[in-house]
Structure 1
């Protein structure tokens, strides 16, 4: 058992105290060497696991370590039991180490309570970031960012209104047009289609976030996300019926963390009608009610507006989807009169391009169609930018 003390402290405070538990001398040297390079820790090395879980506190002694790194390679099952034991009994940051990045092992470690996953080769930048996060937790969150990101909710008046298509493409446009950090969260539970619409294969889902709401933080949240080629991070809905019931408190904890890390949190809420007591919905900045021009949609939209928007918060913007002026059975004037609200956005009907997106998972917001123009303008308006100027139409000498 050895102590390695370092003078430099890039964390802006006292150096971290770290317990390194690793039976393999070679792996222990690898991890210790990486920590030495970080210049931010006093490391106490342990060359064996405790004989039993109950022996762990006695082995570590009375010292309250800021972080405990547990090697998984020597005995995966027992090591994961140690992770869960330490994580459940204290606020100590638990990190795990494996020689290679194994998604399944990462998932199991995360569920056991690990907050950081280290693997070969240990990247100095990633390790430094992990140290910063551990330092933030040690200081009781004093260095954590304030929640300031805007929450933008997309709500459908009826199943099939196109809310997922609109929400996904709006979020892509937000990243592309505004150059802002944004995340798309699929709350259309239990089986939302945001990931499918964007052509993403995801490992984790909203269910993982909600099941682990009590230990949700920026690092944990980031590991649940899958990034689209456009640069948009996505938290997908589960691919099968989840075993967890989403409570408003769980959702609020997740969104609090998301707002810390992203300037805009875009939520695909699907056709939810359980928002009466949802404080997270009341805290949203803007709600986009997506509807089509039909009697069922008008009726449902009127009910939603009467029920959820009495107080004026969140701000309501009505999106008329699949708009065709000449063939609408109900004109815009009658729609606005029925809803007592103006139509903020009209997304034109374009069956070919929408079907192409559904089949090829190519976001509409990235092309040059009339739909893309509206979605881009919606995103620009949301982040305070003027609408995109119309492209000048050229002329030809030849008729």
Structure 2
């Protein structure tokens, strides 16, 4: 009996923000996987170790959480004014499914460094020392991200003293600008507020009716009031993820929110769109102890936010959800803005399970409609492994 040898593909395993993923150059993928479709999905699933009924991804590079079951494909961009195209695939853990419906804000921080180190950026664009400004086309959502990557002696600087809650060790700071992060009234992605309201009543049969802010900024997100759900907003992962009934309730609410936002045309379709929309709940600032044991004072933050990703409470905060938080906080009347104390603001610092995070957004109202020119936040990134990934043929 003959056995096919393993396929060996150049790849880099990177941390970006509070996530990890396997990065590929498009040109290094097998020819059949350079195009969207079943072959590409099958390759990425096998690389990560999915689907795994044990939920551990032992036979792949995945880490058995939504934050570590991720893949990225980067290529030189032919789009004017951009250096690279970046495509993100969120790999399901226990099902044969890759979700291409949204971006990963955390791994966005690693795209610039990966592109520079992989020879995808014109060397003339990289200073000997200083900061390289890399313009990234986020292909999933059709938006521009500008990454400011520190450079030392002509190479990406990865070490530094920037601390990011949710990441154990300090590293070099990378500032990200998410340009025009919200869909506009005439854009293909629909309005920033799909219902036309900064706050809605979301009716969920069998569960209840909830005040909700449904926003499309960074990533489509459903914001709810923590108290209405019976929470304080200071919960850590075990309080939610160990409660099967709570997770099922969140998923039902998420499905109805997705339908209300026009992201799906029937409730059942939410199961095939796990990555988007996100669902989160907010509360006014209060003291709590983070998952690392760090005490967060109420005066250190503007509000509390907890968000779910791929059906589980996130250990920190998704980068794209942070963009949604910053955008919603800047717009009076949203649940996020109200939890932060109301009124106009250009930045917000929120508490999440691992600590705190600051995000800024520039919001303007024109002819009754809100627009956001950009959202800004800092992350860090680091290469964990560089070489070749082996995938059974």
TM over 0.5: no
Higher strand share: 2
Q: Which has the higher contact order (CA 8 A, sep 6+)?
A: 2
Mark the structure with the bigger radius of gyration.
1
TM-score by length of 2: 0.28
